């Protein structure tokens, strides 16, 4: 009678097969991973290779925090708009015609003042700016702006560094792979870019779909008719207390060349989103506006206030919700800024007030 086969020997063929499977699986995973990294690097979805004379590819990510650094690094624009979604409808082509410079609209959905300032610093490092427009919301007046630097939306600080080339490894993730796939589709003509090369995109619903009753419900009942809104306002600083974001604004304006056109504007939200006259919040906002006006006068910046009750901001038909005006309002803002730059005073119809005139 023969001795029983040793268990290890009995399982040897199966163990060899398992080892081969694991080795093959890991090898395939490694090859696919390297191919994905190489594909992302080749398609360059975040424009790490963008530089003067080398334009970035199509802008395909829905989060502008990842898209706009490459617009800046392209060097194709010597003027820019910084703000939130309340400034995104300002068409750079209208601004180009009004001021004679090459504008990019770099306003980001729900951007905090810190995020806006970070992008503005990158823009100023790129080269001499011919014009800048800081489009302000009430969050610039918040006492905790320095603490609430970002939102729940991812913010990639590595893209805002002077040299982002080492970010090639940071973008080895599923999000970048997805965006790279969209870039490929755009290059093949199978998908449209999310944004124009100058950062502009109409994010509000089509004008033909405007529903006055539904808009009124959004305006007076809360909620938003569009995808993104500026960050929620917190309790602003009591009158006389610190508003840290205004220090960043002052520093950015001070860093500009003497000949740069400087414009600062409080955006025209509906009166439903403005503080009630006579309230403590209204007093704090007035204090904030006075501080911004003082900064503007000291730095040679024009400061225009659209955040007032006016024929535009009191008319529901001009808005999708309490924060977002309709497309035809945008060129009126550009025209008003041009008039303020030309030395005009407050609008006779009350659309805006000039708090400081540009040099």
pLDDT at 37: 67
Taking the C-alpha atoms of residue 358 and residue 261, their distance in angstroms, rounded to an integer, is: 7
Please count the CA atoms within 13 angstroms of the CA of 206 that sit on its side-chain side.
2
Of 223, 172, 217, nearest in space to 44 by CA: 172
**pLDDT in tens for each of the 359 residues of the chain?**
455 555 444 455 667 777 787 777 677 666 656 666 667 888 899 999 999 988 888 999 989 999 999 999 999 999 999 999 999 999 999 999 999 999 999 999 999 999 999 999 999 999 889 999 999 999 999 999 999 999 999 999 999 998 877 777 788 788 988 998 999 999 999 999 999 999 999 999 999 999 999 999 999 988 787 766 555 555 555 556 789 999 999 999 999 999 999 999 999 999 999 999 999 999 999 999 999 999 999 999 999 999 999 999 999 999 999 999 999 999 999 999 999 999 889 999 999 999 999 88
* pLDDT at residue 208, as a whole number: 96
Structure tokens at 36: 């994905």
The token duo for 96 is 């180009």
The pLDDT assigned to 3 comes to 52
pLDDT at residue number 35: 62
């Amino acid at each position: 009678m023969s001795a029983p086969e040793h268990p290890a020997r009995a399982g040897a063929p199966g163990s060899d097969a398992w080892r081969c499977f694991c080795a093959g699986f890991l090898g395939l995973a490694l090859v696919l991973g390297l191919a994905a990294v190489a594909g992302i690097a080749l398609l360059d979805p975040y424009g790490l290779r963008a530089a003067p004379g080398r334009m970035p590819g199509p802008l395909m990510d829905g989060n502008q925090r990842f898209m706009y650094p490459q617009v800046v690094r392209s060097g194709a624009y010597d003027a820019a708009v910084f703000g939130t979604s309340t400034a995104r409808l300002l068409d750079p082509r209208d601004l180009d015609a009004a001021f004679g410079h090459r504008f990019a609209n770099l306003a980001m959905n729900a951007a905090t003042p810190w995020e806006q300032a970070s992008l503005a610093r990158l823009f100023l490092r790129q080269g001499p700016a011919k014009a800048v427009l800081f489009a302000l919301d009430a969050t610039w007046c918040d006492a905790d702006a320095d603490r609430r630097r970002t939102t729940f939306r991812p913010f990639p600080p590595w893209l805002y560094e002077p040299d982002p080339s080492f970010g090639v490894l940071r973008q080895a993730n599923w999000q970048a792979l997805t965006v790279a796939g969209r870039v490929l589709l755009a290059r093949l003509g199978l998908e449209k870019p999310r944004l124009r090369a100058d950062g502009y995109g109409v994010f509000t619903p089509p004008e033909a779909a405007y529903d006055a009753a539904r808009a009124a419900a959004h305006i007076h009942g809360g909620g938003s008719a569009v995808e993104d809104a500026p960050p929620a306002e917190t309790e602003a600083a009591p009158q006389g207390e610190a508003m840290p974001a205004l220090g960043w604004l002052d520093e950015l304006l001070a860093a500009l060349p003497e000949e740069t056109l400087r414009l600062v504007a409080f955006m025209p939200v509906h009166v439903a989103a403005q503080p009630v006259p006579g309230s403590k919040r209204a007093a704090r906002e007035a204090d904030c506006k006075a501080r911004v006006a003082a900064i503007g006068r000291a730095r040679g910046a024009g400061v225009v206030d659209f955040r007032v009750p006016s024929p535009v901001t009191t008319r529901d038909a001009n808005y999708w919700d309490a924060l977002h005006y309709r497309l035809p309002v945008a060129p009126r803002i550009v025209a008003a800024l041009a008039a303020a730059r030309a030395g005009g005073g407050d609008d006779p119809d009350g659309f805006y007030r000039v708090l400081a005139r540009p040099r």
